């Protein structure tokens, strides 16, 4: 069980309304959604119900004309351009379906990427970020030096997924957003990856919002939310 400080919210979504095109019917209408510090929440829901759109809004990838989203006490919607990008790398770790690794860079270089762009993440990664990256990779099951130094594109899907998780976790961002990162894995690999991810979030103190339509994965989370109950637009 994660240590949850219910007084300190890492994520606060209030009266959010979002449509992909101005004038279209909104895909998201959320009155209130919050995550406490260190809390691990499983958000499930059918295909097309707005899960990925919600994560994009929280990450500040899309603009929110109505409502507010605060992450670690900052209203993401109030940040513009480069400031929003800097905020994202400082405070949020992302694990998406396609992992978004830089294919020609090594596994280790990919994990260290947030530390290159964020002094905060670098400082929070300890005296030697490289050692932290190697520790995270090791704990996520990637310890073979040949794999650690191999270009990301030469790794298997499961290995790439571990690299993406280590990259999200390095430097202990307050919030990890994971969008179906297990979709390409078999059942056994899904469960063990998820156990590792939850354990690592707990060890670095990050809250986790894990999105999936796969209900077999929801065990062991602090809270399970059904998006069709949270998202009134659905």
Contact residue for ligand ATP among 52, 68, 74, 105 (CB under 6 A): 52
Give the nearest distance from C-beta 191 to ligand ATP in angstroms: 20
What is the footprint of ligand ATP within residues 148-187 (CB under 6 A)?
Answer: none
For the chain, report the end-to-end CA distance as a whole number of angstroms. Answer: 31
Which of the stretches 40-48, 149-157, 163-171, 193-201 binds ligand ATP when contact is defined by CB under 6 A?
40-48
Residue length, the chain?
Answer: 234
How far is it, in rounded angstroms, from Cα 218 to Cα 234? Answer: 21
Contact residue for ligand ATP among 20, 75, 123, 157 (CB under 6 A): 20
Give the nearest distance from C-beta 101 to ligand ATP in angstroms: 20
Using the rule CB under 6 A, is 50 a contact of ligand ATP? yes
| Residue 49 Cα distances to 4, 10, 70, angstroms | 28, 24, 22
With 0-12 / 13-18 / 19 or more C-beta atoms within 10 angstroms meaning exposed / middle / buried, residue 82 is exposed
Contact residue for ligand ATP among 84, 122, 199, 213 (CB under 6 A): 213
92 in Cβ contact with 175 (< 8 Å): yes
Tokens of 143: 């310890």
Using the rule CB under 6 A, is 43 a contact of ligand ATP? no
Size of the site for ligand ATP (CB under 6 A): 11
């Amino acid at each position: 069980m994660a240590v949850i400080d219910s007084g300190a919210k890492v994520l606060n979504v209030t009266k959010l309304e979002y449509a992909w095109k101005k004038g279209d019917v909104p895909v998201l209408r959320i009155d209130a959604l919050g995550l406490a510090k260190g809390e691990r929440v499983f958000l499930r829901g059918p295909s097309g119900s707005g899960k990925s759109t919600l994560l994009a809004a929280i990450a500040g990838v899309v603009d929110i004309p109505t409502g507010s989203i605060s992450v670690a006490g900052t209203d993401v919607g109030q940040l513009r351009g480069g400031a929003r990008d800097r905020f994202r790398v400082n405070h949020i770790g992302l694990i998406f379906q396609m992992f978004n690794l830089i294919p020609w860079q090594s596994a280790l270089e990919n994990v260290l990427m947030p530390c290159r762009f964020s002094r905060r993440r670098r400082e929070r990664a300890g005296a030697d970020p490289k050692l932290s990256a190697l520790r995270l990779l090791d704990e996520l099951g990637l310890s073979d030096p040949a794999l650690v130094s191999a270009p990301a594109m030469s790794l298997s899907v499961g290995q790439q997924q571990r690299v993406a998780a280590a990259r999200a976790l390095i430097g202990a961002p307050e919030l990890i957003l994971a969008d179906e990162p297990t979709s390409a894995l078999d059942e056994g690999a899904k469960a063990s990856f998820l156990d590792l991810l939850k354990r690592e979030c707990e060890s670095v103190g990050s809250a986790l919002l894990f999105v999936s339509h796969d209900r077999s994965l929801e065990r062991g989370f602090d809270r399970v939310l059904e998006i069709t109950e949270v998202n009134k637009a659905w």
